[in-house]
Amino acid sequence: MIAQGENTNTVTITKDEYLSLKKENADRKAESLEQKSQINILQQQLANLQRMLFGSSSERFTGVDPNQLTLDLGEIPQIEQEVATEKITYTRKKSNSTHPRPPLPEDLPRVEEIISPDEDVTGWKKIGEERTEILEKKPAEFYVRVIVRPKYLSPDGKRIVIADLPNLPVHRGNVGEGLLTEIVISKWMDHLPIYRQRKIMARQGVKLAESTINGWISNSLDKKIVLYDAMVKSALTGDYIQVDETSIPVLTKDKPGSTHKGYFWAGHSPPGKIAFFLYDKSRAAKVPKRLLSDFKGAVQCDAYVGYDFLDKPDWSKKVTKLGCFAHARRYFEKSLAGEPENAKEIMLAIQKLYQVERIAHNHNFTFDQIKNLRQRFSVRVLDAIEKRLKEHLPEILPKGNWGTAVQYALRHWVELCRYTEDGQWNIDNNLIENTIRPIAIGRRNYLFAGSHEAAQRSAMIYTFMATCKINNVNPYEWLKWVMVTLPDTKMSEIENLFPANFAKSHPEIKPVKS
């Protein structure tokens, strides 16, 4: 019931009507806030999609106006080493081209082709010559290697001698280590599936069945399990390891007509310069638990729940968990569209942390020097970031990109900052992520592994290829050498075959810069 006086603006309503209107008004406000939150989330999702489709693939943050940074972070000093320079003067003919070609590699063989004038120059005096260098290549040449071993009968007719057959990559096979190595490198490093390689070979007159090639690969890799196991064991005997995982589709009898989503679990030992992979059907925590069961030291990983067991008391006694600042930075980068000023401020502060790392890397600091540099500068920056994030915490939208970034960083803040306590620890997990990246490229080319056993063989090859890359070793030269050297190697000397030791024992082979 509503009553209104004749000459007044006052409206009288019952208590129940008042409470009803009050509740209705509160519901409208809540609905409005929810709609604003949903709009904000949708705008962020649209910005993320546009960034994925049209943005730069680089994660490097170029920065903004430094005057916008209000955190009191101070300045990182410019540490420069004095580099002795030598001034060399020489005279050369000025090139007529505005874009001179870079010189061709000096170590490539030169095949001279002399072209004389059409005119008869008999009796003429040669006054010079013009030399033009052209980079060329001949198609790969197949040939048949014929191994001849003469037999000899002793003068008394009692003994016959013949030389031993040299080590071959496949027992009783007819493939050489050069061809088999090229097949492996082409598929697992250059991402060229076997069926495409067969087409290339067929154009050159060599037709091979896919089953034959797969049989060669399988037979050869079975002999290298001991080397693979030794590399994994060596990596896990260190005191610092980085871990990550990535998916791989696998054909399986359990799911006829479809693929099983298996996982490559990756590890990287910075002290040992070894990267390794192992395959498992599962992404569950039981896999890293089994992998790290005997490990003691620092483990660097992302925030995937499968690594949460590292925080439990029985594990934290022997393992130090390190966070990954690259993951934290990605969350803030995603929130730039929705919270440009706040996100830019934090991104610039993180940029200072990486500036400290670049200074240490560029000047080849020792671990002690790196630790001292971080304690002097990085700790102060980290404290300022944490303080600012805690100031933002009460006002964030938990489901938005900005809210997710703030909560992620604060939830894992101890692990994220722990790298400053030891100079050999890294600020992020990018080294292991770079090791995993070729798998994603290969996955788009060969699509799936043919079986769980084939997936584990791929893990073995990726272990060899990634470790070669880390040590700047030519994978073709290393694998070809291992194929014929491993059979004669004692288990006590197996480490001599590691890529790091190959580089030391073969100085004549040029390193490959990754």
428-473 tens-digit pLDDT: 998 888 877 777 676 666 656 778 888 899 999 999 999 999 999 9
Strands 160-162 and 151-153: antiparallel
More confident residue, 140 or 117: 117
90, 401 Cβ separation under 8 angstroms: no
405, 328 Cβ separation under 8 angstroms: yes
Band (321; pLDDT cuts 50, 70, 90): very high
State the average pLDDT over residues 59-76. 50
Round to whole Å and give the CA distance between 363 and 44: 40
Degrees to nearest 5, angle at CA 120 with 117 and 126 = 65
State whether residue 507 is helix, strand or coil: coil
pLDDT at residue 82 in the model: 33
Band (34; pLDDT cuts 50, 70, 90): low
pLDDT at residue 53 in the model: 47
Those residues whose C-beta lies under 8 Å from the C-beta of residue 380, and which sit 6 or more positions away, are 73, 74
Which of 13-17, 201-205, 237-241, 290-294 bottoms out in mean pLDDT, i.e. has the lowest? 13-17
Please give the span between the terminal C-alpha atoms of the chain, in angstroms, as a whole number. 83
CA dihedral 223, 225, 226, 230 (to 10 degrees): 150
Those residues whose C-beta lies under 8 Å from the C-beta of residue 41, and which sit 6 or more positions away, are 397, 399, 400
In the predicted structure, residue 18 carries a pLDDT above the cut 80: no
Model confidence pLDDT, tens digit, residues 131-164: 888 888 887 788 899 999 999 999 998 999 999 9
Q: Which amino acid is at 133?
A: E
3-state secondary structure 208-238: CCHHHHHHHHHHHHHCCHHHHHHHHHHHHCC
* Nearest in space to 474 (alpha carbons), one of 507, 445, 432: 507
pTM here is: 0.76
Band (63; pLDDT cuts 50, 70, 90): low
80: DSSP letter: -
3-state secondary structure 472-505: CCCHHHHHHHHHHHHHHCCHHHHHHHCHHHHHHH
Band (326; pLDDT cuts 50, 70, 90): very high
Alpha carbon of residue 427 to chain centroid: 15
Domain residue ranges in the chain: 230-434
181, 192 Cβ separation under 8 angstroms: no
CA dihedral 29, 35, 38, 43 (to 10 degrees): -120
pLDDT at residue 182 in the model: 94
